């Protein structure tokens, strides 16, 4: 592990200049590494990934990808920076068809290349093929999540950011999604994901960061945090000592 | 009766062209742009200006009152109207959009509309103008129904534009981005699309259609600086009736408003005609709050 693929250093960010949500958060992700971010509701987990994606302004600190500075990136340049991002909510266009959703995801590619990768996506996710000309609003929550991930992978990113990919899925689906993510990592894609399914996330990811009140609290190899009693305390919102 | 039907469809198709641009910009930029109707006036007068400057009056084509010069003038007017829309967006709406609340932008559009009308009044004066003084012979389509060739042309052109626009929105990348932008701007950016470009094209298309509507209005009725003001309510009624952001809805809405206006004069004094679109609007919104066909912005519900 020389230079990290994603390096977030000490960022302050928020929706309004006078009200920072993140107070100096640092996170790093290496090539082909799976990193989880956990923390209580309102901790700033989504805000962190949004800030990396350029959707929330960063007032201090830096974000870099593979050594180049992408702080306050224009969001439409995410793909150029080799990042793909699946938001927590509203992550598909419900008024467009599955096919149109995928076509939008391929809009940074040439038409021919886009068509080729969309065909591959249909092979990988048969459920999408089945509904390809239906509006995305007919999809179930799990199917929408599948569509959102399939869309994100079209640009063949080096880093995939997922905000609660398992939200609202049945336990069976959760393990299925995580298995798929694991196999993605084995192909060399790095993953930064926010999760509420703490147990499953700790079991599958390489490293984990615990965030609370817009600050880093604990981080380390997931296997070590799994047995840490402090994680449970913070996670349950009991506060925990400031470190 | 038949005549009212023909008149209504004519007015309706002009309203529809204006309402398409309005519904697109409202759906995507999410504010009621009261200056949109003024783009219609601007387009109509720019075409007049081009005709006056070039001074060419090559004879009319076939049975129509106009010839090639007006067609070329309309193209130039469409470009000039798009330019006006882009300049106004850049100087007025864009800074306000990001810094202040929604109502400020709406009120600023009132200001813009007054300003545009004053500029036109200053340059062209307030009296009625015509593109051509050619006399047209009405064709009798069937007993009790006589229409001007120009009117048939208007209908045909509207139809062609609506079909072309439909294919543009359904089949092209830009059209797809425009529909997506109406639902979820952030997700469009996440997909790697620069929304500023898409917004610019939306203005260009809306303004060009407004210019065409203006020329058609000037050709079939007359040119006055208050064309836009008179079309304001019908445009909004049509756009809202059809569901904001819905192009097909705007066309149907335009036709409904046009027909209602022309039939209303059979029953009520012509002075009340302007209230008719408003009454229909209220009636429809009472039953279907998101318009007849629902909006394009499903995510916002
Ligand atoms: N669009 C917004 N505008 C203003 N404040 C916001 C916005 N979104 C979130 N916040 C605030 O930012 C803080 C952190 O929210 P964030 O969504 O990052 O939390 P989270 O850790 O992702 O929580 P959850 O687990 O519930 O998804 C909260 O206090 C929230 O009220
Ligand atoms: Mg969140």
Q: Is residue A44 part of a domain?
A: yes
Ligand 1 and A44: CB distance under 6 A: yes
> Band of the pLDDT at A238, cuts 50, 70, 90?
very low
Q: Is residue A69 part of a domain?
A: yes
Could you tell me whether strands A34-38 and A58-65 are parallel, antiparallel, or unpaired per DSSP bridges?
unpaired
Full domain range(s) for residue A186: 4-88+156-241
Model ipTM?
0.91
Q: What is the mean pLDDT of residues B18-22?
A: 93
Q: Which ligand is nearest to the CA of A47?
A: 1
How many angstroms separate the Cα of B247 from the Cα of each of A104, B100, B208, B294?
20, 28, 15, 11
Q: What is the mean pLDDT of residues A222-234?
A: 76
3-class DSSP state of A36? strand
Q: Which tokens sit at B231?
A: 């079309």
Q: Is residue A110 part of a domain?
A: no
Residue B169 or A230, more confident: B169
Q: Is residue A104 part of a domain?
A: no
3-class DSSP state of B250? helix
Across B28-161, the runs of DSSP E, i.e. the strands, are 139-142, 145-147
Q: Is residue B219 part of a domain?
A: yes
Q: Is residue B293 part of a domain?
A: no
**CB contact B177 to A (< 8 Å):** yes
For a pocket test of ligand 1, which of A43, A50, A166, A168 has the largest count of ligand atoms closer than 8 A to its C-beta? A43
In this structure, which residue's CA is closest to atom 31 in ligand 1?
A42
Query: How much distance in Å is there from the Cα of A44 to the middle of ligand 2?
Result: 7
Count of structural domains within chain B? 1
3-class DSSP state of B269? coil
Across A95-241, the runs of DSSP E, i.e. the strands, are 159-163, 190-194, 207-212, 215-221
Query: How much distance in Å is there from the Cα of A164 to the middle of ligand 2?
Result: 7
Q: Is residue B72 part of a domain?
A: yes
Ligand 1 and A45: CB distance under 6 A: yes
- Selection from A77, A40, A71 nearest residue A58 by Cα: A71
Q: Is residue A225 part of a domain?
A: yes
Q: Is residue A147 part of a domain?
A: no
Q: Residue B66 — φ and ψ, nearest 5°?
A: -125, 165
Chain A neighbors of B296, CB-CB under 8 A: 95
Residue found by looking up tokens 């007032």 in the block = A59
Full domain range(s) for residue B144: 2-126+136-287
> Band of the pLDDT at B247, cuts 50, 70, 90?
confident
Q: Is residue B296 part of a domain?
A: no
Q: Is residue B131 part of a domain?
A: no
3-class DSSP state of A63? strand
- Selection from B264, B260, B288, B201 nearest residue B21 by Cα: B201
Query: How much distance in Å is there from the Cα of A163 to the middle of ligand 2?
Result: 7
Q: Is residue B18 part of a domain?
A: yes
> Band of the pLDDT at A50, cuts 50, 70, 90?
very high
Mean pLDDT for chain B overall: 86
3-class DSSP state of A83? strand
Which CATH number covers residue A29? 3.40.50.300
Note the pLDDT tens digit of each residue in B90-143.
998 888 877 767 788 888 888 898 999 999 999 988 888 888 776 677 777 777
Chain B neighbors of A90, CB-CB under 8 A: 184, 187, 299
Count of structural domains within chain A? 1
Q: Is residue A112 part of a domain?
A: no
Chain A neighbors of B173, CB-CB under 8 A: 103, 107
> Band of the pLDDT at B177, cuts 50, 70, 90?
very high
What pLDDT shows up at residue B131?
82
Q: Is residue A35 part of a domain?
A: yes
Ligand 1 and A218: CB distance under 6 A: no
Chain B neighbors of A159, CB-CB under 8 A: none
Q: Is residue B300 part of a domain?
A: no
Q: Is residue B38 part of a domain?
A: yes
Q: What angle do CA A89, A94, A96 make, to 5 degrees?
A: 140
Asked if B192 lies within 8 A of A94 by C-beta distance, the reply is: no
Q: What is the mean pLDDT of residues B270-283?
A: 81
Query: How much distance in Å is there from the Cα of B194 to the middle of ligand 2?
Result: 25
Could you tell me whether strands A58-65 and A6-13 are parallel, antiparallel, or unpaired per DSSP bridges?
antiparallel
Q: What is the mean pLDDT of residues A102-110?
A: 95
Q: What is the mean pLDDT of residues A3-11?
A: 92
Asked if A104 lies within 8 A of B186 by C-beta distance, the reply is: no
Which of A112-126, B30-44, B101-115 has the least mean pLDDT? B101-115
Which CATH number covers residue B200? 1.10.3470
Ligand 1 atom, smallest distance to A50 CA = 18
pLDDT surpassing 80 at residue A125: yes
């Amino acid at each position: 592990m020389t230079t990290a693929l994603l390096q977030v250093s000490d960022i302050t960010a928020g929706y309004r200049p006078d009200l920072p949500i993140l107070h100096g958060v640092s996170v790093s992700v290496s090539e082909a590494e799976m990193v989880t971010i956990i923390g209580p509701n309102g901790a700033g987990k989504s805000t962190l990934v949004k800030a990396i994606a350029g959707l929330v302004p960063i007032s201090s600190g830096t974000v870099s990808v593979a050594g180049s500075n992408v702080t306050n990136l224009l969001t439409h340049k995410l793909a150029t920076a080799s990042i793909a991002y699946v938001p927590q909510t509203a992550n598909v266009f419900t008024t467009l068809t599955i096919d149109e959703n995928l076509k939008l995801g391929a809009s940074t590619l040439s038409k021919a290349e886009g068509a080729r990768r969309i065909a591959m996506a249909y092979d990988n996710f048969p459920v999408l093929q089945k509904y390809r000309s239906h509006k995305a609003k007919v999809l179930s929550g799990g199917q929408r999540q599948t569509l959102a991930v399939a869309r994100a992978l079209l640009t063949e990113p080096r880093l995939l950011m997922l905000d609660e990919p398992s939200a609202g899925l049945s336990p069976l689906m959760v393990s299925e999604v995580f298995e798929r993510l694991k196999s993605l990592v084995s192909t060399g894609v790095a993953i930064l994901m926010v999760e509420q399914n703490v147990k499953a996330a700790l079991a599958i990811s390489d490293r984990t960061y615990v965030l609370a009140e817009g600050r880093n609290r604990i981080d380390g190899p997931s296997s070590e945090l799994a047995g840490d009693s402090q994680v449970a305390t913070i996670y349950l919102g009991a506060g925990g000592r400031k470190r | 009766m038949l005549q009212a039907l023909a008149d209504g469809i004519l007015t309706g198709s002009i309203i529809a062209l204006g309402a398409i641009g309005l519904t697109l910009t409202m759906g995507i930029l999410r504010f009621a742009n009261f200056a949109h109707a003024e783009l219609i006036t601007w387009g109509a007068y720019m075409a007049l200006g081009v005709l006056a400057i070039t001074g060419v009056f090559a004879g009319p084509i076939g049975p129509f009152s106009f010839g090639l010069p007006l067609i070329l003038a309309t193209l130039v007017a469409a470009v000039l109207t798009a330019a006006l829309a882009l300049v106004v967006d850049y100087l007025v709406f864009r800074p306000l959009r990001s810094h202040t609340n929604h109502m400020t932008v709406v009120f600023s559009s009132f200001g813009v509309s007054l300003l545009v009308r004053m500029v036109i009044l200053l340059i062209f004066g307030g009296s009625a103008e015509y593109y051509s003084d050619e006399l047209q012979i009405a064709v009798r389509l069937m007993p009790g129904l006589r229409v001007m060739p120009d009117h048939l042309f208007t209908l045909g052109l509207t139809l062609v534009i609506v079909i072309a626009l439909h294919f543009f929105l359904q089949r092209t990348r830009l059209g797809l981005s425009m529909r997506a932008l109406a639902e979820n701007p952030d997700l469009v950016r996440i997909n790697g699309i620069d929304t500023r470009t898409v917004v610019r094209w939306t203005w260009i298309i809306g303004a060009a259609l407004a210019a065409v509507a203006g020329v058609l209005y000037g050709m079939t009725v007359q040119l006055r600086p208050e064309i836009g003001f008179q079309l304001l309510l019908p445009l909004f009624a049509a756009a809202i009736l059809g569901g904001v952001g819905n192009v097909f809805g705007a066309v149907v809405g335009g036709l409904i408003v046009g027909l209602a206006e022309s039939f209303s004069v059979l029953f009520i004094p012509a002075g009340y005609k302007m209230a008719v679109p408003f009454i229909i609007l209220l009636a429809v919104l009472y039953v279907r709050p998101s318009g007849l066909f629902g909006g394009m912005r499903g995510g916002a519900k």
